[in-house]
Chain A
Amino acid sequence: MYRFANPTFFLALAGRLILPCALLAAALLGWGLYMIFVLAPDDYQQGASVKIMYIHVPAAWLGLACYGLMTSSALGSIVFRHPLADVSGKALAPIGASFTFLCLVTGALWGKPMWGTWWVWDARLTSVLVLFLIYCGIIALWEAFDDPLRAARPVAILTLFGSVNLPIVKFSVDWWNTLHQPASVFRMGGSTIDPAMLKPLLVMAAGATLLMLALYLDGMRTEILRRRVRSLQMKQVGQP
């Protein structure tokens, strides 16, 4: 475990993992898209627009998952004070924000033909929008400090504070009976989605997760290198 926490070892490991992750993600997403557009049936009510789901649902999962990972990174930065945890949190924020944004946009595109409106102030939609705004706040706080090392603690605390929203997003459809449909894949008593649609969805989810992993590792590697460059520059200028 501690070996992975060594930045140099991590760099070497990440360097080896990124390409396979990216290739596998591309393969899975390609296979998933083929299944969606060729094999998977249209919905009896929604027609072809149900295909938006295969992007929308994985994006929503990953938007939440990234925040979950960010929360554990924040714990790592506060409890263990490990620089790699700071780097992990910083790399995750834009990725999570992008997936959440993708979820909101595809949701709006799906909502227009199905609900007849781009947007409603429904509990699930609102809480996901709040999640997106929290992501934006976290990114803004990262950028506000001149010295990225000093930004890590405040951002970690803000991340923990914002994590209160996660269960609200997850359970909003169960707590409030609103327009957005309740959980249908991971629920007590099994999934309510037909296997013909569930399989492409899971393939897309796996592909998107691998894509997230590749972006995450690459983001962390870039951030570590950026920090090294920065400290070298600082040394050159003669500041401690």
Chain B
Amino acid sequence: MRAFWALVRRDLRLSARIGGGGLNGLMFFLALIVLAPFAIGPDLNLLARIGPALLWISALLSTLLGLDRLFQADEEDGSLDLLQAGSLPMLALVSAKCLAHWLTTGLPLALAAPVLGLLLALEPVQLGLMSAGLLIGTPALTAIGAAGAALTVSLRRGGLLISVIVMPLMVPILIFGVASANAPLLGLMEASTPLKILLGLSLACVTLGLVTASAALQERG
């Protein structure tokens, strides 16, 4: 367990020291949200209607942002081999790296979402749901992304490929994330229903994603 937390701390420190790491994703998120009203027009009703979708898509894109370096940086300088030879099993190793990635991307996004939701004229109840949905859903995005990153770890230019591989698999998370935030607006169902489905999906995706990522790293030739 100490090795696990040491690895998390190492990755957090790395992301903080190399180019502001964690904050970059947040700035990207902010830039996307600010761009949207310019592209769509400042119609508040329209923005409120599509706001949750915009926030979720931005969150998805920000998660994808740093993925290509998630394992590659360690693979290139050999530290991944060292870690693999250490006491930590591969699955724990992957989990630690994903946890650090989520702490620097998913968590800040979930915390910032209510503030940015104000810019998109979301209802107060939607702001809370947005935050809750992102808190539940972003770990799954990270884990699925980690699977893509691990599969393309030995490729020079894997960045675009990761997105191609990973985005279709993120569709269910997106659907139920947006559905939960839109539920009070549309009034078709309780917001807790899609939120529970999202939670179940997220747990399944985290498990599958982490196992896939560690299998892919173990099999890397």
Task: Spell out A's residues near B (CB within 8 Å).
Answer: 78, 126, 130, 133-134, 136-137, 140-141, 144-145, 149-150, 153-154, 157-158, 160-162, 164-165
Majority-rule SS of A interface residues:
helix
User: Known: A153-B219, A158-B151. Is A136-B169 also a contact (CB below 8 A)?
Assistant: no
Stretch at the interface among B12-20, B30-38, B107-115, B154-162: B154-162
User: Known: A130-B171, A157-B212, A161-B169. Is A145-B219 also a contact (CB below 8 A)?
Assistant: no
Residues of B153-206 at the interface with A, using a CB-CB cut-off of 8 Å, are 154-155, 158, 161, 164-169, 171
Contact between A161 and B152, CB atoms less than 8 A apart: no
User: Known: A150-B221, A157-B215. Is A141-B208 also a contact (CB below 8 A)?
Assistant: no
Cα A130 to Cα B169 in complex, Å, equals 8
B147 at the interface (CB under 8 A from A): yes
Contact between B155 and A137, CB atoms less than 8 A apart: no
Contact between A161 and B164, CB atoms less than 8 A apart: no
Contact between B167 and A133, CB atoms less than 8 A apart: yes
Could you list 21 A-B pairs, sorted by A, with CB under 8 Å? A78-B219, A130-B168, A130-B169, A133-B164, A136-B164, A137-B166, A137-B168, A140-B161, A141-B151, A141-B152, A145-B155, A153-B220, A154-B151, A158-B151, A158-B165, A158-B212, A160-B212, A161-B147, A161-B169, A165-B168, A165-B169
Cα A136 to Cα B166 in complex, Å, equals 11
Contacts of B155 in A (CB 8 A): 144-145
Identify the closest chain B residue to A153 (Cβ).
B219
Contact between B151 and A133, CB atoms less than 8 A apart: no
Contacts of A160 in B (CB 8 A): 212
Which of A126, A137, A149 counts the most chain B CB atoms within 10 A?
Answer: A137
Identify the closest chain B residue to A149 (Cβ).
B221
Q: B209 CB to closest chain A CB, in angstroms?
A: 8
Contacts of A144 in B (CB 8 A): 152, 155, 158, 161
Contacts of A140 in B (CB 8 A): 161, 164-165
**Which 4 interchain pairs have the tightest Cβ spacing?**
A133-B168, A137-B165, A153-B219, A154-B151
Q: B133 CB to closest chain A CB, in angstroms?
A: 20
B80 at the interface (CB under 8 A from A): no
Cα A133 to Cα B215 in complex, Å, equals 22
Contacts of A78 in B (CB 8 A): 215, 219
Cα A133 to Cα B168 in complex, Å, equals 6
Contacts of B152 in A (CB 8 A): 141, 144, 154
Q: A153 CB to closest chain B CB, in angstroms?
A: 4
Contacts of A164 in B (CB 8 A): 169, 208
B216 at the interface (CB under 8 A from A): yes
Contact between B171 and A126, CB atoms less than 8 A apart: yes
Instruction: Choose among A130, A145, A157 the residue that contacts B216 (Cβ–Cβ < 8 A).
Output: A157
Contact between A154 and B171, CB atoms less than 8 A apart: no
Q: B92 CB to closest chain A CB, in angstroms?
A: 19
Identify the closest chain A residue to B154 (Cβ).
A150
User: Known: A154-B151, A164-B208. Is A137-B164 also a contact (CB below 8 A)?
Assistant: yes
Cα A136 to Cα B167 in complex, Å, equals 12
Contacts of A133 in B (CB 8 A): 164, 167-168
Cα A136 to Cα B147 in complex, Å, equals 17
Cα A221 to Cα B173 in complex, Å, equals 40
Cα A160 to Cα B168 in complex, Å, equals 14
Cα A157 to Cα B147 in complex, Å, equals 9
Contacts of A154 in B (CB 8 A): 151-152, 216, 219-220
- New A-B contacts (9) at CB < 8 Å, excluding given A154-B152, A161-B147, A164-B208: A78-B215, A130-B168, A140-B165, A141-B165, A144-B152, A149-B221, A158-B165, A161-B169, A161-B208
Cα A141 to Cα B212 in complex, Å, equals 15
Q: B35 CB to closest chain A CB, in angstroms?
A: 24
Q: A90 CB to closest chain B CB, in angstroms?
A: 15
Contacts of B166 in A (CB 8 A): 137
